[in-house]
Amino acid sequence: MSIKSVTVYAASSQALDPVYVQAAGRLGRTLAEAGLEIVYGGGSTGLMGAMADGALAVDGRVHGIIPEFLTRVERGHQHLHTLEVVGDMRERKARMLEKADAVVALPGGCGTFEELFEAMTLKRLGQFLGPIVLVNTADYYDGLIKFLRYSTEQHFMNPAHLDLWQTVDEPEAVIEAIRRATSWSAREALATASVKPVR
């Protein structure tokens, strides 16, 4: 699968430890230097803004997608190549995934979790087939990964679903993670969509 564009999910909070902000900027730079177009939520604050600024600093191409109501609450980034204003959060999520060859999740809150889980769910069902990479800055996603493994142990998920995503500790490792991501087809997705009874 040829990867030309990457959708990035990330927090907009401005109250974060600098270690997260610095890693977000490094991710933007890493993706841009690899020649990948970046799609994200269009914000100028938090990890969203830091990631976009990191990419723009090295002439990366960044496309933002923001719901109209958020332009009145949080300022959309004013220096992107394009900033697309859509009707609501659902349309934003759909557009971000529609434009993605791969997905990368930086640390975030419930909005980031929702976006990430939708991407995982659609991949599980064969509706999105690209790589999904979690950037586990400062072990942020350790608890989530442990819970997903526990969900598999309890037979709520098929063990094959643990291959839906890759995890990296540093943003510079994202490109290699995308390259080595387990291939996933619609046929494989449907074959593993349900969990068989335990004998």
Give how far Cα 138 sits from Cα of 8, 25, 35, 90, 169, Å: 18, 15, 27, 30, 8
Quick check: is 61 in a domain?
yes
| pLDDT at residue 193 tops 70 | no
Quick check: is 196 in a domain?
no
The pTM is what?
0.92
**For the segment 113-157, what is each residue's pLDDT rounded down to a tens digit?**
999 999 999 999 999 999 999 999 999 999 999 999 999 999 999
Quick check: is 186 in a domain?
yes
| Distinct helix (H) and strand (E) counts, the chain | 7, 7
DSSP designation for 198: P
**For the segment 69-123, what is each residue's pLDDT rounded down to a tens digit?**
888 776 788 899 999 999 999 999 999 999 999 999 999 999 999 999 999 999 9
Q: Containing H/E element for 188? A: helix 186-191
- Rounded to an integer, what distance in angstroms lies between the CA atom of residue 188 and that of residue 164? 11
In this structure, are residues 29 and 51 in contact, taking their beta carbons and an 8 Å threshold?
no
Q: How many domains does the chain have?
A: 1
Quick check: is 65 in a domain?
yes
Contacts for 101 with CB less than 8 Å, ≥ 6 apart:
1, 2, 3, 4, 5, 6, 130
| pLDDT at residue 191 tops 80 | no
**For the segment 23-72, what is each residue's pLDDT rounded down to a tens digit?**
999 999 999 999 999 999 999 999 999 999 999 999 999 999 999 988 87
CA 40 to chain centre: 9
Quick check: is 73 in a domain?
yes
Quick check: is 199 in a domain?
no
Give how far Cα 132 sits from Cα of 27, 77, 79, Å: 14, 25, 27
Instruction: Tell me which of 11-15, 18-22, 172-176 is least confident.
Output: 11-15
Q: CATH no. for residue 59?
A: 3.40.50.450
In this structure, are residues 169 and 133 in contact, taking their beta carbons and an 8 Å threshold?
no
Q: Containing H/E element for 39? A: strand 37-40
Strand order in the sheet with 37-40: 82-86, 62-67, 37-40, 5-9, 102-105, 132-135, 166-168
Write out the two tokens for 79: 């220096």
CA nearest to 165, candidates 136, 138, 133, 189? 133
Residue 100: give the domain boundaries. 5-191
- Rounded to an integer, what distance in angstroms lies between the CA atom of residue 121 and that of residue 157? 11
Quick check: is 197 in a domain?
no
